[in-house]
Amino acid sequence: MPKRRNEELPLDIYIPFVQSLFRDSVTLAVGIAAQSLLALLVYFKTSDTIYFVVAFSIVAIGYMRLRSTREVLNNPISDRSEARRLENIYIFWGTLHASALGLFCFAGIYLAHDQFAEIAAICVTLATATSIAGRNYGSPRMVMLLIITLTMPISAGFLLRGDVFHVTLGLLSIPFFFAIRKFADNVRDVLFAALWEQKKANQLAARFDRALNTMSSGLVMLSQEGRVVVANAEAANLMQVSGPDRLLGRTLRGLLTRGAAGGMLSQKDSRYAEAQLTRALREGKDRKVLLRLLNGRHFEFSARESKDELGVITFDEVTARVEAEERIRFMARFDSLTGLPNRAYFHELLSERIAGGDQERTVGLAVFDLDDFKSINDTLGHPVGDGLIYLVAERLGAFADGNIEVSRFGGDEFMIFFNDVKEEQEFAALLDGIFASLHGDVDVAGHAIRIQLSAGAVLSKARSSDVDAMVVKADLALYKAKENGKNGWRLFEAAMDQAFRNRQVMKADLRQAVETGNLRVVYQPIVSMETMRIVRCEALCRWDHPEIGPISPSVFIPLAEEMGIISEISSFMLSAATAECAKWPASLGVSVNLSAKDFHSHDIVRKVKAALDKAELAPERLEIEITETALLNDKSSTRQYIQELKSLGVRIALDDFGTGYSSLSYLHSLPLDKVKIDRSFLLDVTKDSRSLELLKGIVNLSRPLGLAVTIEGVETFEQLKTLAREVKPDLVQGFLFGSALTASGIATMSNTTWPFAAEIHGTLANA
Ligand code: C2E
Ligand code: CA
Ligand code: CA
């Protein structure tokens, strides 16, 4: 709050102060009349001209003052200089007026002393003094000048009288006038404070108004009687009235009814909004109500009421948000490439469809899967793959009707749901029809592609249908169709389910066996052709199922790979094999089989190293067996990890050579030490000369590359002799030398020389 000096007053306070000086023209006129009348009376009594001069001056000055008062009342003051000019005029005439009264007193007391003149002058002056606080408080300068011009002549008059009584009177009149000044100050303070508060209130109201009417949200405040007491421009806008004031006094129901009548809202929505908002206002909760106007715009209303206060309803247009949400919802439900319902939404749709209608009816589900789609993607690129998917989706989509629902399940898989299947034959004909429509060559971006699909289907009573179960069954049938040579469809049969269930149970059991370390390791001897003594052993994993008994690794290893737990088995095998090998004579090494999946992560290098370190085994004694598929999968990183293993000193053997890609041309580019030839080559080597030539060829090609050769699956002495004579591999492995043994069995056997060694030596020497 500024000080009271006029210079520092804000204009909007200064102007009312100046106006306050001119306000009371009636008392001024009465005062002038009384003063001039008394002065005239004194003149008549004393005949002293000085009183006539006083009376005349007061009339003349009074006239001027009243004139300026009228001027101010008729013309509002607009700026500071105008205010200042008027204040100065007021001060000028006011000072003259006071001076005339001062002269009246000075004359009465001293100059032309007269008993009546003295009393009259002092009475008039004191009466006038009251106006100092009453009318002139608005101008501190005026107050000061009035006090001086009124006090001085009285005090001077009394002092000049000289006697002790008058001198005392003269001195005492001074504090009286200063008390009057104090009163004037107080009045001014009060006025100032009032004006200041009003100014603040106005400012606040203006700001509030501005905030209210520029905010993007609409706002309506309701009194406790439920009538609008505040509304903003946005609210007026929505209600299509010219200004917020037009909304005042209306009720919520009135507003909504108006909205409905104006075709903005449906009757139903209007009732809904009223119920919801009224409830929100009553409960004082932050409740949001979303309304869709008939013109497609969306508004979100929220209501708030804290007890004993005004209820507030705000609203925002949320059309953009709602539309975005709808788009997202669409994207979440429909496949972006084909526009067909996606897996999740299809599931939702099906659950709904199946639950509705006659529960005794039969429903059907078919899963379609493009054959060898991966190779199209790999060879022709994803855009062509996408093009093909789009084309298939288009053709399948054409079958969709009230009864048939089509979805893209992901990748190259499509699902078709049949809501009401009357007969199995009819269903089969339908599927054949779909197949026929898809078959044939198509052109995708200039590539002639033959569409080939397989499908699995399942039928079920609606009453007992579960979407997930149907999907699983259709999938099982699809697998069977693929197994049967692709390009056809199969209907689900109970036997498939049994196989599936067994597989699921076995998976769970395997997981538990791996987690609890319920696996065993056995070691199969690998024998040197030259010495006929064991040089190393292959570690093979064993799982004894508590109910089924031993399960072949050819069964559970692929399961573990599928389940993603093969690396746990590999770790187990690595640490067991290295630990056992460390106990054997130093001439014996150990071989461990790793899966292609082990080479998906660099972890494998760390694991091998950790196993060697823990067992304190020389790296040269460990051999890793990997199959061609592992090498071909993801060449660069697999090669890199193999290279890193090799740098550790570990040996690398290529397992099952001849069963996979079987190209010798790439052998030299891989960091290998050994090739293990699959036992299938040995099956009829004693009878079929072509098999023998093949074996010889592989050995002869491997040798120059610095690769040792192991031949697996040697079961008979006959085979061994043939190998010794014709093929001369470095190592042999097979049941002839025993099946896999426990680790301690190997330690005992390490010194064994087979009885037929001499004969083989002879054969080798003769060859
Ligand atoms: P593989 O690596 O080729 O292992 C040799 C398999 O041939 C073993 O079968 C072995 O018992 C069998 N075998 C050895 N000599 C003969 C023979 O003279 N005649 C016949 N008919 N078979 C013979 P097993 O133990 O059933 O293992 C099968 C496959 O399971 C293995 O083939 C290997 O690929 C995989 N496997 C076994 N243990 C592991 C393991 O710890 N990790 C990984 N990743 N795979 C393993
Ligand atoms: Ca092996
Ligand atoms: Ca093998």
Task: Identify which of 520, 537, 559, 712 to mutate to test ligand 1's pocket (most ligand atoms within 8 A of the CB).
Answer: 712
What are 396's two structure tokens? 């399948």
Mean pLDDT, the chain, whole residue set: 87
Nearest CA to ligand 1 atom 21: 713
Dist. CA 737 → ligand 1 center (Å): 15
CB atoms within 10 A of CB 580: 22
Ligand 1 site: residues with CB under 6 angstroms? 524, 540-541, 552-554, 557, 573, 593-595, 625, 655-656, 679, 713-715, 733-735, 740
Mean predicted confidence (pLDDT) in 630-638? 69
What does the pLDDT read at residue 666? Answer: 64
Q: Which ligand is nearest to the CA of 623?
A: 2
Q: Is the confidence at residue 527, as pLDDT, over 90?
A: yes
pLDDT band, very low/low/confident/very high, at 10 (cuts 50, 70, 90): confident
Q: What is the pLDDT of residue 1?
A: 47
User: CA-CA distance, 676 to 693, in Å (whole number)?
Assistant: 17
Residue 457 backbone phi and psi in degrees, to 5? -135, 160
Most confident of 71-80, 444-453, 563-572, 660-669: 563-572
The number of angstroms, rounded, from the C-alpha of 65 to the middle of its chain's C-alpha atoms is: 76
Instruction: Please give the distance, rounded to the nearest whole angstrom, from the Cα atom of residue 764 to the centre of ligand 2.
Output: 26
Which of 641, 534, 633, 639 is closest to 588 using CA atoms?
534
Q: Look at residues 454, 469, 306, 272 and name the one whose alpha carbon lies nearest to residue 373.
A: 454
DSSP-assigned beta bridge partners for residue 657: 677
Give the closest residue (by CA) to ligand 1 atom 36.
553
Q: Do residues 217 and 314 lie in contact, with contact meaning Cβ atoms separated by under 8 Å?
A: yes
Q: Is the Cβ–Cβ distance between 4 and 189 less than 8 Å?
A: yes
Torsion angles phi and psi, residue 670, rounded to 5: -105, 150
- Can you state the angle between helices 635-648 and 603-615, rounded to 10 degrees? 20
User: Does 2 have pLDDT greater than 50?
Assistant: no
User: How would residue 37 be classed by pLDDT, with cut points 50, 70 and 90?
Assistant: very high
Q: What percent of the chain has pLDDT over 90?
A: 39
Which helix (H) or strand (E) covers residue 427, if one does? Answer: helix 424-438
Compute the CA torsion angle 734, 735, 737, 738 (nearest 10 deg): 130
CA dist list (Å): 514 to 396, 398, 507, 520, 741: 44, 49, 11, 10, 21
Which bound ligand lies closest to the C-alpha atom of 740?
Answer: 1
Write down the pLDDT at residue 286: 67
Position of tokens 């491997």?
Answer: 702
Highest averaged pLDDT of the listed ranges 227-241, 378-392, 611-625, 690-704: 611-625
Q: What pLDDT, on a 0 to 100 scale, did the predictor assign at position 62?
A: 94
Better-scored residue on pLDDT, 282 or 119: 119
| CA-based R_g, the chain, Å | 56
> DSSP letter at 453?
E
Q: Is the pLDDT of residue 648 over 90?
A: yes
For ligand 1, pick from 593, 595, 626, 677 the residue to mutate: most ligand atoms within 8 Å of CB: 593
Beta-strand pair 534-545/589-593: parallel
**CA distances for 696 relative to 613, 627, 701, 702, 736, angstroms:** 39, 21, 9, 10, 21
Per-residue pLDDT band for 441 (boundaries 50, 70, 90) equals confident
Give the mean model confidence (pLDDT) for residues 497-518.
88
517, 518, 546, 594, 634 from 512: Cα distances, Å: 8, 8, 11, 21, 30
Tokens representing 306 are 């804290």
Q: In a 3-state reduction of DSSP, which class is residue 447?
A: strand
Give per-residue pLDDT as tens, 349-405. Answer: 899 899 988 999 999 999 999 888 887 887 788 888 999 999 999 999 999 888 899
Asked if the model's pLDDT at residue 4 lies above 60, the reply is no
- Report which DSSP code applies to 7: G
Which pLDDT band, with edges at 50, 70 and 90, does 334 fall under?
confident
Atom 29 of ligand 1, nearest CA residue: 554
Name the residue of 520, 527, 557, 683 to mutate for ligand 1: max ligand atoms within 8 A of Cβ. 557
pLDDT digits (tens, 9 = 90+) for 254-306: 888 888 888 888 888 888 888 888 887 777 666 788 888 888 889 888 887 75
Task: Determine the residue of 514, 523, 540 to mutate for testing ligand 1's pocket, defined as the one with the most ligand atoms within 8 A of the Cβ atom.
Answer: 540
CA distance 314 to 298: 14
Q: How far apart are CA 303 and CA 199, in angstroms?
A: 32
Gap from CA of 655 to ligand 3 centroid (Å): 5
The half-sphere exposure of 746 on its side-chain side, counting CA atoms within 13 A, is 30
pLDDT digits (tens, 9 = 90+) for 44-86: 999 999 999 999 999 999 999 999 888 888 888 888 889 999 9
Q: What are phi and psi of 617, to 5 degrees?
A: -105, 135
Task: Give 665's pLDDT tier (boundaries 50, 70, 90).
Answer: low
Residue 660 binned pLDDT confidence (cut-offs 50, 70, 90):
low
Ligand 2 center to residue 729 CA distance, Å?
Answer: 17
Ligand (nearest to CA of 713)? 1
Query: Separation of 655 CA from ligand 2 center, angstroms?
Result: 6
Amino acid 661: pLDDT: 55
CA-541 nearest atom, ligand 1 = 38
Quote the ligand 1 centre to 529 CA distance (angstroms): 20
In the β-sheet with 413-418, what is the strand arrangement from edge to edge? Answer: 404-410, 413-418, 362-370, 453-461, 489-491
Q: Is the pLDDT of residue 145 over 80?
A: yes
Distance from residue 373's CA to the centre of ligand 1 (Å): 32
In sequence order, which ranges of 162-266 are alpha helices (DSSP H)? 164-214, 233-239, 252-261
Is residue 743 within 8 A of residue 583, CB to CB? The reply is: yes
pLDDT at 662 over 60: no
SS3 of 589-613: the string is EEEEECCHHHHHCCHHHHHHHHHHH
Contact 403, 419 (CB under 8 A): yes
Measured distance CA(216)–CA(232) in Å, rounded: 10
Taking only the tens place, the pLDDT of each residue in 700-741 is 878 888 899 999 999 999 999 999 999 999 999 999 998 898
In the numeric block, the tokens 């005339």 are attached to 100
Residue nearest to atom 41 of ligand 1 (CA): 541
User: Closest ligand 1 atom, CA of 598?
Assistant: 44
- Ligand 2 centre to CA of 740 (Å) is 12
Q: How far is CA 634 from the centre of its chain?
A: 36
User: Which residue minimizes the CA distance to atom 20 of ligand 1?
Assistant: 713
- For residue 634, pLDDT beyond 80: no
The rounded Å distance from CA 267 to ligand 1 centre is: 78
